[in-house]
Amino acid sequence: MQSYLELARDGKKEMWEAVQLEMDRRKTFAEKYNISKLDYATVDNPFDGRVICGHCGSNFGRKVWNSNNERLRRIIWRCNKKYTVKGEKSCENKHVDDTVLYKAFVSVFNEMVENKEYFMEKWKVGLQSENFLIRYKTKQFIKILKNAKVLEEFDIDLFFRIIEKITVFEGEKIIVTLLDGIEIECEIE
Ligand SMILES: [Zn+2]
């Protein structure tokens, strides 16, 4: 039997290991998608470095479409390879409204809540993973979902705790990838 102190120490060690692995994961992710500012995502801009082009695999960038009419002002995300140097082939993926990204998260999260049993079954596998970080995230997911209720609106804290990336395909569908690698598809209305 472990003493309480030993358990606490193991808990801390586990946490420390998870933090190191999470830093590695972010670094690998940022290198893969050529993202330089993954840690700069903020409350106003939770999607920075997390929206990926399903067409060419680049990172999506945020763009504000201004208008004199405030109601027509829009924030969109589009592939960073949309307009490249003249003569080079640019990416033809369509842009996506940021409202779609907010909605996609809410719909994915609610799908998880409504299909709790299904996800809990999937996470039983995650708990056995060789990968320490996946085991750690899986435990967190189970904790989050256990008492979760459907969301009425975007929740930034849940977003950062659950989502690795959102991949956009031709303005038709998006695939939301959870931090443990599970992918959930959403149609774009
Ligand atoms: Zn692209």
Q: How far is the CA of 12 from the centre of ligand 1 (A)?
A: 41
Q: How far is the CA of 78 from the centre of ligand 1 (A)?
A: 8
Q: How far is the CA of 133 from the centre of ligand 1 (A)?
A: 29
Query: What is the predicted pLDDT for the residue at 98?
Result: 92
Tokens standing for 107?
Answer: 């719909």
Amino acid at 176: V
Q: What is the mean pLDDT of residues 126-132?
A: 88
Q: How far is the CA of 104 from the centre of ligand 1 (A)?
A: 19
Cα separation, 50 vs 40, in Å, equals 11
Q: How far is the CA of 183 from the centre of ligand 1 (A)?
A: 20
Tokens standing for 105?
Answer: 């998260």
Q: How far is the CA of 154 from the centre of ligand 1 (A)?
A: 26
Q: What is the mean pLDDT of residues 7-26?
A: 79
CA-nearest of 170, 148, 169, 167 to 157 is: 148
Cα separation, 148 vs 166, in Å, equals 22
Query: What is the predicted pLDDT for the residue at 30?
Result: 87
Cβ neighbors of 29 (< 8 A, separation 6 or more) are 35, 38, 164, 165
Q: How far is the CA of 56 from the centre of ligand 1 (A)?
A: 4
Query: What is the predicted pLDDT for the residue at 178?
Result: 93
Q: How confident is the model at residue 87 (pLDDT cuts 50, 70, 90)?
A: low
Q: How far is the CA of 168 from the centre of ligand 1 (A)?
A: 9
pLDDT tens across 130-144, in order? 888 888 889 999 999
Q: What is the mean pLDDT of residues 68-76?
A: 84
Q: Please give the helix or strand (H or E) that residue 32 lies within, else none.
A: helix 4-32
Cα separation, 132 vs 123, in Å, equals 14
Q: Where are the domains of the chain?
A: 4-187
Tokens standing for 139?
Answer: 């435990």
pLDDT tens across 34-54, in order? 887 655 567 778 998 899 999
Cα separation, 74 vs 52, in Å, equals 20
Q: How far is the CA of 63 from the centre of ligand 1 (A)?
A: 15
Mean pLDDT score across all residues of the chain = 86
Q: What is the mean pLDDT of residues 65-70?
A: 82
Q: How far is the CA of 88 from the centre of ligand 1 (A)?
A: 13
Q: How far is the CA of 92 from the centre of ligand 1 (A)?
A: 7
CA-nearest of 83, 85, 32, 89 to 61 is: 83
Q: How far is the CA of 18 from the centre of ligand 1 (A)?
A: 32
Are 52 and 34 spatial neighbours (Cβ–Cβ below 8 Å)? no
> Is a pLDDT exceeding 70 seen at residue 96?
yes
Q: How much of the chain exceeds pLDDT 70, in percent?
A: 89
CA-nearest of 164, 115, 162 to 141 is: 162
Q: How confident is the model at residue 79 (pLDDT cuts 50, 70, 90)?
A: very high
